Amino acid sequence: METQHSLDTRNLLCPLPVIRTQNLVKTLNPGETVEVVGTDPGIMNDIPAWCRINGHEVLESTTIENEYFVCLKVGD
């Protein structure tokens, strides 16, 4: 899906993709969207968990071959 920002965390292992996501989201405004791509399947659990804790919304998560994509919308 179309997002305003993208974050490449390929070859990073959790929790680094979550930390990079957290650090990017800190710089964004509510409502902005981000697509995170990674190769660690852990992001499919960790980024949604991080979003739930911090009030962000997961819009979509998909797996294409060995890559994992999570799209999120920054919360208020």
Binding site for another protein (CB under 8 A): 10-11, 13-16, 18-19, 22, 39-42, 44-46, 49-50, 52-54, 66
Nearest distance in Å: CB 60, another protein = 19
Angle at 71 between CA 19 and CA 48, to 5 degrees: 55
User: Closer CB to another protein, residue 1 or residue 53?
Assistant: 53
Q: Which helix (H) or strand (E) holds 72?
A: strand 67-73
Collapsing DSSP to helix, strand or coil, 12 comes out as coil
71 annotated active-site: no
CB atoms within 10 A of CB 20: 16
Nearest distance in Å: CB 14, another protein = 4
